[in-house]
Amino acid sequence: MKVASKNESEIKESLSPEIQNISSEQLRNKVVSAWLMALEQTSFDSLKDLGQFKGINTAEHVRGVAAIALGIVKGIKEVFPDFSVNVDTVVAGALCHDLGKPFEYDPNNESNWGKNRWATGNPALRHSVYGAHIALNAGFPLEVVHVVGSHSVEGAYLQRSLEASIVHYADKVFWEAVGRVKFGKNLFQLAGIMQKEMY
Ligand SMILES: [Fe+2]
Ligand SMILES: [Fe+2]
C-alpha cells in the first residue's frame, strides 16, 4: 500500500470552510486524521484525487453534503426552536460519510475483486461498511460512526439517528442536484450510468 503524500493541513484545507462548523477542536482533528488513515491504505493521495462522478471530486462532494446538511439543520431549528440537533455530529458525519470510498474505488482492490468475485464478492465491502471500520479505528464517538455506516443503502436496515437521516438525505439531494443541474438526469438514471448506487 502506498503511503499518502498529503499531510494533515492539506486535508484540512480540502474540507474547508465547512469543517470550521465543528465546534470541538478534538472532533475536527479526528475528521482530518480519519481521512489521512483512509487515504494511507489506498492508491489515492488526496480527496481531490478521488473522482466520484464526471469531474466531481470527493472533497467537493463531502463539502457539498455538509453544506446541504447544515441547511437542513437551519430549517429544523426554524420550525422547532427547542429541538436539539447535534451539529458537530452532522458536520463530522457529513465530511466523513464517504471515508470508505478510497478503499472501494482503489484500482488495486477493484482488480482483486475482478479476479475472484465469486469468492470475495464485488466489491468485498461497500464504502459505508469500510468507512465505519475506519471511523471506529479513528476513535470517533459512536454517533459519528453510525452516520458513516448508515448513510447509504445499508442504513435502511437500521433505525437511523436524526443526524444520520440528515446526512443520508443531504447525500441523496447532492447527487439529485448534480444530476439535474449538470447532466439533466435524475438519481435513478445516474445509478444506471454508474451501474451502482451513487451514494
Ligand atoms: Fe456514500
Ligand atoms: Fe456521498
C-alpha cell at 195: 451501474
The ligand that comes nearest to the alpha carbon of residue 151 is: 1
Cell numbers standing for residue 160:
437511523
Q: In the CATH scheme, what is the code of domain 8-194? A: 1.10.3210
CA of 175 to the centre of ligand 2 (A): 8
Cell matching residue 199: 451514494
Ligand 1 center from residue 132 Cα (angstroms):
11
38 CA distance to ligand 2 middle (Å): 15
22-70: per-residue pLDDT in tens? 999 999 999 999 999 999 988 898 899 888 777 789 999 999 999 999 9
Which-ligand-closest: CA of 59? 2
How many A from CA of 68 to the centre of ligand 2?
12
Ligand nearest to the backbone CA of 155: 1
Counting ligands in written order, the one closest to the CA of 102 is 1
Share of the chain above pLDDT 90, in %: 64
Distance 153 CA to ligand 1 centre (A): 9
- Residue pair 44/106 in contact (Cβ under 8 Å)? The answer is yes
What is the model's pLDDT at position 6?
Answer: 60
Model pLDDT for residues 88-106, shown as the tens digit of each residue? 999 999 999 999 999 999 8
Question: For the whole model, what pTM was predicted?
Answer: 0.91
Reduced 3-state DSSP string for 51-118: EEECCEEHHHHHHHHHHHHHHHHHHHHHHCCCCCCCHHHHHHHHHHCCCCHHHHHCHHHHHHHHHCHH
